[in-house]
Amino acid sequence: MSIPILDLRGALEPGGPRSREVARQLRAAGEEAGFFYVVHHGVEPRQIDGIFECARALFDLSPSQKAAVSLKHSPVMRGYEGIGEQTLDATALPDLKESFYAGIEYPPDHPYVRAGYQSYGANQWPAALPWMRARCEAYVARLCALSQRVMQLMALALDLPESTFDHAHGDPMVTLRLLRYPPHPLGDSGGDDPRLWGAGAHTDWGAVTLLAQDAHGGLEVCMPDGRWVQAPPVDGSFVVNLGDMIPRWTNGRFHSNAHRVRNVHAGGQPRHSVPFFYSPDYLTRVEPLPGCTSVANPPRWAPCTVGEHLHEMYTRSYGLQRTVPQDGVSQESPR
């Protein structure tokens, strides 16, 4: 069993001639591992190269320059996070990676910002990289559009109208995450410790994740039979996976499977990747879609909103006694 590759040519617009064919392929992927690649996705290679340039430049800044934009300074947890500051798998050691979070820049007078909803607020940008903001914001806008198209194809895959999710995209909750994984330590340096990962095993919490990865690889996906398989780089592709919100929306028909990362294929070089986490508007209602329940398969989850789902995922993972941060998706998984 391997991760399928979906060619989006002829399926990038509603009613495209290959939309139903691609939707059938997406259905098979959703009912298996919840992972697939997309190629010919419409995002220009130069735009993807540009976002990797942002990542390399940011992580090459001095420790003091990175600390100046620490996510600890942000009420919505946007900014820099250092190595070992996140542990995705509670049975593992702290993750061996550093990262930077950004998202849609919602102004202070936006009603969701004023209400204190998760993931709505301002970003932090390093002063030493004045060109970074515009490049990241353009990338976020482009990946929002692609994520929304993937959700239209997902609706077709469920034999529903392409427009089924269109009402949900008013003010989406998104996280762009730039990542650098240092070389995995070997031998006496602790690399043989099975608890040490760049990112421990986890699922994503939101709706759709689009991952751009460099040429080194290191992502592993747990398949339905329990085997872990590599998700190696495919030229010109994004790796797409469905988050925990989608099983809730499809009443378990589509899956959100575990994945993990270890940088052991880069020949001693750092690994960079850029996941983009997409969830619809905070107030969108999440409940089983038509055709996803039956007498034999009654609803498995109570209805909720997108925001309530992400809040639930955070409290389940980090403990009800903890204060939930303003950005419930700030802990979205790296790759």
C-alpha 6/C-alpha 38 separation (Å) is: 5
- Token pair in block for residue 105: 């820049």
Q: What is the CATH number of the domain that holds 267?
A: 2.60.120.330
Instruction: Give dist(CA 301, CA 264) in Å, integer.
Output: 39
- Measured in degrees and rounded to the nearest 5, phi and psi for residue 46 equal -65, -30
Sequence-separated (6 or more) residues with CB below 8 Å from residue 200: 87, 88, 89, 91, 92, 95, 260
**What was the pLDDT predicted at 241?**
96
Task: Enter the tokens of residue 35.
Answer: 């992972």
CA dist 220 and 228 (Å) reads 6
As beta bridge partners, residue 219 has: 261
User: Is the predicted pLDDT of residue 332 greater than 70, yes or no?
Assistant: no
- Indicate the pLDDT class of residue 187, thresholds 50, 70 and 90: low
User: Which of 193, 195, 237, 240 is closest to 221 using CA atoms?
Assistant: 240
Q: Quote the domain boundaries for residue 123.
A: 5-331
Which residue do the tokens 């499809």 mark? Answer: 250
Strand order from edge to edge, sheet including 228-230: 199-202, 259-261, 219-222, 228-230
Output the CA–CA distances (angstroms, integers) from residue 98 to 65, 199, 265, in the order listed: 14, 10, 18
Task: Locate 124 and state its tokens.
Answer: 């932090």
Tokens of 52: 């990797």
pLDDT tens digits along 253-270: 999 999 999 998 888 899
Residue 186's contacts (CB-CB under 8 Å, 6 or more residues apart) are 192
Q: What is the pLDDT of residue 2?
A: 84
106-153 pLDDT tens trace: 999 999 999 999 889 999 999 999 999 999 999 999 999 999 999 999
Per-residue confidence at 330, pLDDT binned at 50, 70, 90?
very low
| Dihedral angle over CA of 80, 82, 84, 87, nearest 10 | 0
Give, for 155, the enclosing helix (H) or strand (E). helix 132-157
Residue 318's pLDDT is 52
pLDDT value at residue 103: 97
Q: What integer pLDDT is reported at residue 316 of this predicted model?
A: 65
Greater model confidence, 113 or 329: 113
Is residue 324 predicted with pLDDT exceeding 50? Answer: no
What 3-state class would DSSP assign to 114? helix
End-to-end C-alpha distance for the chain, whole angstroms? 21
Strands 79-81 and 238-242: unpaired
Number of domains in the chain: 1
Kindly tell me the burial class for residue 154, based on how many C-beta atoms sit within 10 Å of its own C-beta (0-12, 13-18, 19 or more).
buried
pLDDT digits (tens, 9 = 90+) for 72-85: 999 988 999 999 88
Q: Tell me the average pLDDT across 161-184.
A: 96
CA distance 324 to 309: 13
> Global pTM?
0.93
Q: Give me 6's structure tokens.
A: 């979906």
What's the length of the chain?
A: 335
Provide the pLDDT for residue 197.
Answer: 82
pLDDT tens digits for 298-308? 999 999 999 99
Q: 10 Å Cβ neighbour count for 199?
A: 29
Burial environment of residue 165 by CB neighbours within 10 A (0 to 12, 13 to 18, 19 or more): buried
**Cβ–Cβ < 8 Å for 276, 210:** yes
Bigger pLDDT: 121 vs 86: 121
pLDDT of residue 189: 53
pLDDT tier at 191 (50, 70, 90 boundaries)? low
